Structure 1
Amino acid sequence: MRNKSFFTSVLIAAALTLTGCATPQRHVSLSESTLPSKTQRVGVAMTPLPKVDMQLPGANCLLCIAAATLANSSLIDYTRTLPHEDLPKLKDSLAELLRKKGFNVIVISEDLDISKLPDYSGKGIDIAEKDFSPLKQKYGIDKVILIQITDLGMLRPYSTYFPTSEPKAILKGVGSMVTLNNNAYEWYMPVDLAKGSEGPWDESPNFPGLSNAYFQVLEMGKDAFLKPFNN
């Protein structure tokens, strides 16, 4: 029994090693002590916006995906026509908010593709995996505030062939601030918003209930990214 228990422990440890034990970045609240000083220069940037699309998580086999896609084809086609509205201007809104508070701000006009940044060699709590330090010299900034919107559109969860709920409008992303001297997160805030139709959702071809939910989620998302700097 002892040997069996020992080998079981070894197998569990090996499985954990093979599957990895990466820990998601924790939430880091913004505080007065981590805000830029009046002598520091802060950059405000956004990553490329995702395409507006529909997700069908849980339809996890080829036939399941085909069936779910066919069942939701009208909504998928419509979702892909929805605009980003003024999401691209979110970094300008945030920069203006900071300037009104007296901060020295530069808006980074181009989209920041963080996947192209080198990996950071240092490790530790609240240390970014990507190396943001090249931005210090490139833009003449001491800190960077980054808005990442990763998912936008509609989501309907499935269990193989069967939907488990009605579709919802979604917006997901992360707001963060990295100090470029040590690559540390001084603010890290995941955003995960979803809203369903307030009336019938399946009103093809324009889906007014879900359309309203989508535009409400856009407003909720913008408010979520701005609120920490509006206090």
Structure 2
Amino acid sequence: MRDLGYKFKHLAIAGLALLLTACSSTPQPTVTLNTNLFSKDDLKIGVVYTSPEEKATTHIFGADCLLCYGVASALTSELDTHLETTITTDELTKMRDLVLSEYSERSKNVELIELPTSINELNDFNGELGFAKKDFRVLKENFDIDLLVVLQISRHGAYRSFSNYIPNGDPQGHVAGLLYSVDLNTNAYVQYMVINEIIQPSGEWDEPTSFPSVTTSYYQAIENGKKKIKSAI
């Protein structure tokens, strides 16, 4: 059985995130890409990709106490082992490459860049809705770019909902994150899109050790995420 302490730590972090979210202002709504920017022939675009901090796993939602989470984690332990040992980040890299490709269709000056620090370590920007929460403007001079595009994948693997320790349904294929673009002159979003794909497996899901139905639903979630990216750029 997996180390439950690891998941308990993530439960505490998730609880804090929920508390902070509850206390925060209105969530940033979707911003449709402002294509007027691409009328500038000399527009320079930098693309940043951030991958998940943990391997593919089952992301548990609704098991809100430590005991509940422990039971839920035990129920998903075999699936977790399968996901962590067989699912790589290759498909997520293809999502990154798709973003690069689609923006390259819009501008001839597009490059993949690597930030010297994590996005979370950048200074906060105290703007209203429609502006990035971090101050990205310093990157304009640092990288000689006008537009920053960020693909930030936060979760991948499976999604399973619980009511305390009782499952609400089967594990589902899952990928989640953000795609957003920031005008480095103003720190305003010129694009903002939430990626949250959850796909129900077809047929029986509980088929260790390969879990073919859940695995297939994971790859379908990835494909749906790609379609969403392609239609948004």
**1:58 Cα deviation (Å)?**
1.4
Would the aligned equivalents of 2:202 and 2:213 in 1 still touch at CA under 8 Å? Answer: yes
Aligned partner of 1:98 in structure 2 is 103
> How far off is 1:74 after superposition?
0.8
Q: Residue in 1 aligned with 2:232? A: 228
Q: 3-state SS of the aligned residue for 1:155?
A: strand
Q: Is the 8 A contact 2:43 2:107 kept in 1?
A: no
1:41-60 aligned at under 5 Å gives the runs 41-51=44-54, 52-60=56-64
Q: 1:137 aligns with which of 141, 145, 169?
A: 141
Tell me which amino acid in the other structure corresponds to 1:88: T
Paired residue secondary structure (1:93): helix
Are 1:127 and 2:121 counterparts? no
Q: Structure 2: how far apart are the matches of 1:205 and 1:78? A: 7
Q: What is aligned with 1:3?
A: none
Q: Distance in 2 between matches of 1:163 and 1:132?
A: 41
Contact 2:197–2:221 under 8 Å retained in 1:
yes
Once superposed, what is the RMSD of the aligned Cα atoms? 2.0
Runs (5+) with no aligned partner, structure 1: 1-18
CA distance in 2, matches of 1:36, 1:119: 30
Instruction: Give the number of aligned pairs.
Output: 210
Answer 1 or 2: which has greater helix percent. 2
Corresponding residue SS for 2:151: strand
State whether residues 26 and 188 of structure 1, in contact with CA within 8 Å, keep that contact through their aligned partners in structure 2.
yes
Q: Secondary structure at the residue paired with 1:199?
A: coil
Give deviations 1:162-201, integer Å, cap 9, x for gaps.
1111110111111111000110001101111000111210
Structure 1 distance, partners of 2:80, 2:193, is 29
TM-score, with structure 1 as normaliser:
0.83
- For 1:5-20, list aligned pairs within 5 A: 20=23
What is the identity percentage for the equivalent residue pairs of Structure 1 and Structure 2?
30
- CA-to-aligned-CA distance 1:31-50 (integer Å, 9 cap, x gap): 32244622110111112334
Paired letter, 2:30: H
Summarize the Cα distance change of 1:99–1:70 in structure 2 as closer, same or farther, 3 Å threshold. closer
Structure 2 residue runs of 5 or longer lacking an equivalent are 1-21
Change (3 A) 1:57 1:90: closer
The residue that corresponds to 1:203 in the other structure is 207
Give the aligned partner of residue 164 of structure 2.
Answer: 160
The 1:90–1:36 alpha-carbon spacing in structure 2 relative to 1, beyond 3 Å, is farther
